[in-house]
Amino acid sequence: MGKKLLLEHDHVPGIQGYDVYRKNGGYASVEKAIKTMSPEALVEEVKKSGLRGRGGAGFPTGMKWSFLAKPEGVPRYLVCNADESEPGTFKDRYLMSRIPHILVEGMIASSFALGVNKAFIYIRGEYYYIVNILEKAIEEAYANGWLGTNILGTGYNLDLYVQVGAGAYICGEETALLESLEGKRGNPRIKPPFPAIAGLYGCPTVVNNVETLASVVPVINMGGDAYAQIGIGKSTGTKLISASGHINKPGVYEIEMGITVEDFIYSDEYCGGILNGKKLKAVVAGGSSVPVLPADKILNLANGEKRLMSYESLSDGGFGGGTMLGSGGFIVMDETTSIVENLFTFARFYHHESCGQCSPCREGTAWMEKILHKIVDGHGTMADIDLLWEIQAKIEGNTICPLGDAAAWPVASAIRHFRSEFEEYVSNPSGVKKNKHYDSVHNNVNV
Amino acid sequence: MADIKFSEDTLALANKIIARYPEGKQKSALLPLLHLAQAEFDGWLSPATMQYVASLLQIQEVEVYEVASFYSMFNLKPVGKCLIEVCRTSSCWLRGANEIIEHLENKLGIKEGQTTPDGMFTLKTVECLGSCGSAPMMQIGAQYHENLSYEKVDGILDTCKAEGTRKTYLDKVVVDKY
Ligand SMILES: Cc1cc2nc3c(=O)[nH]c(=O)nc-3n(C[C@H](O)[C@H](O)[C@H](O)COP(=O)(O)O)c2cc1C
Ligand code: SF4
Ligand code: FES
C-alpha cells in the first residue's frame, strides 16, 4: 500500500464529524503552527516541502506564498479554489464531502502563515450539498475554538466562509474566481497585477486549490523535509488522482508520486485494469486540458523506460510526445473508443465555457466545435482536418487566460497522434462504427 | 411583484450572508442571494425576482441581469419542477451518457431543452459535474444520481413523479455513498 497523507483516515466511521476527526489527530497542525511557529517559519516549511499547487499548474506553493504583498493596514485574503470543473476531475469533491475538516484545518494553518484574517472557500454551485457539509465543519471548528477571535488564546483572529458559484468552468481560473466572488461575471482579469499584489477587492490574495491547502496539514505535522522525502524528485508528496472511463475501478486514489502509469492502470490497488478485459487505447492523464496520449506513449517514455505518475515524467517528451499531470483527472479509453467523438465532447465543452472576452478563444472554440461536429456527422473533408489544426495553433498563446490553450491542446494532440482516425471519418463516413457506450452489465452491477 | 419577498427565515439568512463581506463590498452576496431567490421563487429568476434581489443589495437591476445571465445554473426562463441535468462530457460519454439522454427523451416524450406538458420535468444536458468516476450521471436539484442504468433512471423518474415537489439546489440530500 502506498503512503496516504490525506485519505489516511478516509474509512474511519464518522470521520466527517469533528470528534472523530480530532481523535484521529485532527487540528494538530494548527496547534503546532499557531503555538510554536512564526508565520515566516511556516512559509519556509512549505517551501522546503516542495509542495506544488494541485489545481493544475503545479506552481510551488511556498514560493507563491512568499510573493504575497504585505502593505501596512491593508487586509490580505486566502481563497480556496473549490470550483473543480475540469472534465475528469472529482477529487476535491471526494475530499470535501468525506473529510471536510482537513480542508478547514489546512486553511486555518495557511491563513496564520499568510497573516490572513478572512478566508473564503469558493465552491462550484453544483456542489451545493457540500456547502452544507463544509458549513457544518466550520461551525464545529468555531465551537471548538479553532476559528473566530483569539484562537488558542494567542490573539490570532480568523473568519472562514463558504462562497457558492453558479455554473461556470472559467471561474476556476483564479482571477475569474475573484471577479465572481466580488459578485460579477466570471471574466478573467489581465495579469499583471497578480492576485498576490491585487486580488480580492484589490487586496493581496492567495488562491490555492482544495488539495493544496489540505496538503499543508501533513507538511506541518511531519515537517517540510520529511514531506519532501515522499514522492520522486520535484514531485514531492502524494497526489489525489480521479480515475474514470473504461476501467474496472473508477474512483479517487491517493498515490505516492513516482509509481508507474502501468501500475496505476492495471494494479488492483488502483484502477484494476481495463473494463471487460479490453485493450487500452489512450489516456487523458490530467484533466480534459492536457494532451491525449496513445497507449504506448502513456505507458512508456521515448527511451523505453516506464512512464511515472509525476509532474516531470508525464510531461517528458514535451508537447510532441508527452502530456501533463494537470489536475490529476485520469480518463482511460479502451480500444473501441472513437478519439474523434471524444474530442468533440471536449470541443463542445470549451466552446460552452469560453467567457468570450478574447476573439481567438471565442471564435476558435466555436469553429472547432462546428468542424468536429461536421466530421463526426460524416460531412467532413480532408481540408477540415487541416483547418482544425490551423485554428488550434492560432488560439494558443493569444489569449488573456489559459482556457484558450486548454481548448487547443486536446485538438492538437488528437490530430498529432490519431490523424488516421480523422481521415477515416472523412473518407469513409458510413464505415465508421458509431460506438454505443451503454454497458448494461456494468451499469446494472453498479446499481 | 407584490408577492416577491423572501420568507422571514430566508431574509435572515440573506442578511447574514451580506454581513460577511467588508463594508462597501456587499455585491459579493449576489450569487448566494440569487441561489436563495431561485429556490424560493419557482426555480427561475423572473425580472421581478431579479428586481427584488437588486433592491436588497442596493444595486441596479441590470447589474443583476448581467451576472445572472453569465452562469449556467441560473434559469432565466421557467423550468419544470424537476430540472434533470445530464452530464454529456467525455467520462460520462465513455460510459453511456448519450444512451441515457436518448432513454430520457423517449421516456419523457420530450427533447433536450424541453419541458413536459404537465410542467413536471425539464431535460437539460450539461458539462462535467465532477462525478466522472460514477458515470453516467445526472443531477436533479441538489441530488447527484450516479452510475445510471435505464432501470435506475426509470425508478428516479417514478419517485420524482410520486413526490411531485419542486427540487432545488438547496435541498437537503443523501450524501454520497462511494
Ligand atoms: C480555465 C481554468 C480553469 C481552472 N479551474 C481550476 C479549478 O477548478 N480548480 C483549481 O484549483 N484550479 C483551477 N485552475 C487553476 C487556477 O487558476 C489556479 O492556478 C489554482 O487555483 C492555484 O492553486 P494551486 O496553486 O493550489 O494549484 C484553472 C485554471 C484555468 C485557466
Ligand atoms: S481565453 Fe477564453 S476564457 Fe480566457 S479570457 Fe479569453 S475568451 Fe475568456
Ligand atoms: S464527465 Fe460527467 S461528471 Fe465529469
pLDDT of B2 higher than 60: no
CA-closest candidate to residue B82, choices B35, B110, B115:
B115
Residue nearest atom 30 in ligand 1 by C-alpha distance:
A173
> Which residue among B126, B132, B150 places its CB closest to the CB of A242?
B132
Q: Are residues A169 and A187 in the same domain?
A: yes
Q: What is the CATH number of the domain that holds A297?
A: 3.10.20.600
Is the domain of A326 the same as that of A371?
no
What is the rounded average pLDDT of the residues B53-74?
A: 97
A439 and A319 fall within a common domain: no
- How many structural domains comprise chain A? 3
Q: What pLDDT tens digit does each residue of chain A (447 aa) get? A: 578 999 999 999 999 999 999 999 999 999 999 999 999 999 999 999 999 999 999 999 999 999 999 999 999 999 999 999 999 999 999 999 999 999 999 999 999 999 999 999 999 999 999 999 999 999 999 999 999 999 999 999 999 999 999 999 999 999 999 999 999 999 999 999 999 999 999 999 999 999 999 999 999 999 999 999 999 999 999 999 999 999 999 999 999 999 999 999 999 999 999 999 999 999 999 999 999 999 999 999 999 999 999 999 999 999 889 999 999 999 999 999 999 999 999 999 999 999 999 999 999 999 999 999 999 999 999 999 999 999 999 998 889 999 999 999 999 999 999 999 999 999 988 877 677 788 888 887 764
* pLDDT of the residue at A203: 98
Q: Whose CA is nearest to atom 23 of ligand 1?
A: A208
Question: Does A201 share its domain with A242?
Answer: no
Q: What is the CATH number of the domain that holds A361?
A: 1.20.1440.230
Domain boundary among A334, A362, A386: A334
A253 and A364 fall within a common domain: no
H runs (alpha helix) in A324-432: 339-353, 359-376, 382-395, 403-427
CB neighbour list of residue A66: distance below 8 Å, 6 or more residues apart: A43, A47
Give residue A52's pLDDT. Answer: 98
> Among all ligands shown, which has an atom nearest to the Cα of A165?
1
Q: Is residue A8 part of a domain?
A: no
Domain boundaries, chain B: 8-70, 82-163
Q: Which residues of A touch B93 (CB under 8 A)?
A: 341-342, 345, 437
| Domain region containing A279 | 236-334
Q: What is the pLDDT of residue A402?
A: 96
C-alpha angle A238-A117-A75 in degrees, rounded to nearest 5: 115
Number of Cβ within 10 Å of residue B17's Cβ equals 20
The residue among B42, B3, B73 whose CA lies nearest residue B165 is B42
Chain A residues touching residue B22 (CB < 8 angstroms): 75, 118, 201
The protein residue whose alpha carbon is closest to atom 4 in ligand 1 is A172
According to the model, what pLDDT value does residue A407 have?
A: 96
Question: Cα dihedral angle (A227, A228, A233, A238), rounded to 10 degrees?
Answer: 20
B80 and B122 in contact (C-beta within 8 Å)? Answer: yes
Residue-wise DSSP of A155-167: TEEEEEEEEE--S
- Is the CB–ligand 2 distance for residue A397 below 6 Å? no
Looking at A289, A317, A334, which one is the last position of a domain? A334
Spatial distance between the Cα atoms of A53 and B63, rounded to a whole number of angstroms = 34
Query: What is the model's pLDDT at position B101?
Result: 97
pLDDT value of residue B129: 98
B82-163 classified as CATH 3.40.30.10: yes
B94, B139, B147 member nearest A443 (Cβ): B147
As a whole number of Å, the CA-based R_g of chain A is: 22
pLDDT band at B1; cut points 50, 70, 90: very low
Helix (H, G, I), strand (E, B) or coil at B115: strand
B176 pLDDT band, cuts 50/70/90, is low
pLDDT at A29: 98
CA–CA separation, A124 vs A262, rounded Å?
33
**Residue A417 pLDDT:** 98
Q: Which residues of A touch B148 (CB under 8 A)?
A: 443
Q: Last residue of some domain: A302, A334, A366?
A: A334
In the CATH hierarchy, which fold is given to the domain comprising B8-70? Arc Repressor Mutant, subunit A (1.10.10)
A223 & A258 share domain: no
The pLDDT value recorded for residue A447 is 47
